Amino acid sequence: MRNLLILILVVAGIWWIQRVMARIKEKSARSRGKGKGGKAADTPERMLECAHCGVNVPESDGVRDGERFYCSAAHRLAGPRAD
């Protein structure tokens, strides 16, 4: 019985170590720009103008509301600027 428990713990340990190593490998690949998206890290990101304040921010950092783009959730709630 004791040997069976030791065997189960060894197998579980090996499985856990493999999962940790896979995560580390995935993180390093992502940091080099070869993540799941397939885009290189050197690819420039599209910059969009906030409909409220006019500041240009990267598309991934902003918030969309239909066709309009905002730099933050607070500006989305404030709505477009009055011209």
Q: What pTM does this model have? A: 0.48
Mean pLDDT of 22-34: 83
**DSSP class of 35:** S
Residue corresponding to tokens 């720009």: 33
pLDDT given for residue 29 in this prediction: 82
- 65-66-72 Cα angle (round to 5): 15
What confidence category does residue 39 fall into, taking pLDDT thresholds of 50, 70 and 90? low
